[in-house]
Amino acid sequence: MLNLDAEKVAREPWWFTVHPASGDMPAVEVRFVPIGRVALRTARRAAAAAIGAELPDDEATLSPELMEKAGDILSESLLMSGIDQWRGVGDAAGEPVDVTPERLALFLADPIRFEKLDEAYVRPFVLKELEKNVSSPLLNGISAGAMPAQDTANRSARRTAKAGAKRTRKKVSRKAAPTGKTNPAPTAGSASGT
């Protein structure tokens, strides 16, 4: 059963310690507001716009570099909209300053701080959404029952007629797809080192 009381509690802002207090330096803390639909949609658009011009022309998968770039932009956008207050952040005179987009961009420019905030705020949300949106457990091992996918089918696919589907007759040579019970013929290897 869906627990709306638990979801209401999860929608409340929460504080995160970025740097603990040290000597006479106060702790640096930020207040996160939960990630909502609008913030997520905005972050997705920002990531898509940033990598859109760099997408390959063919239908190939994104390169690791483009995926990292999209992930960084998504995280930055979510952090920019998700941090609404902070403590322990001030100006040169040591006076506390309010959160502004310019100050927050400067705050997030530090790569170590950015990674720490991303790990605490964005990644848990993304992992939770991945688990909600897939029909099977995640293969990275964080879900109970996660198992690697098979590379081959258990048996050959069979043709079925769907109701109302238009059938066309074509002469095509039929060859069964490789299955877990068949072995493909070995192929000749190439000479190495040349």
E strand or H helix that includes residue 83: strand 83-87
C-alpha to C-alpha distances, 44 to 62, 65, 70, 100, 139, nearest whole angstrom: 16, 17, 9, 22, 24
Residues 122-156: pLDDT tens digits?
Answer: 999 989 888 877 654 445 444 444 444 444 444 44
The predicted model scores a pTM of 0.63
In angstroms, the CA 80 to CA 32 distance is 10
Which residues does residue 194 pair with via DSSP β-bridges, in sequence order? none
In angstroms, the CA 28 to CA 158 distance is 62
Residues 30-78: pLDDT tens digits?
Answer: 999 999 999 999 999 999 888 876 665 555 567 788 889 889 999 999 9
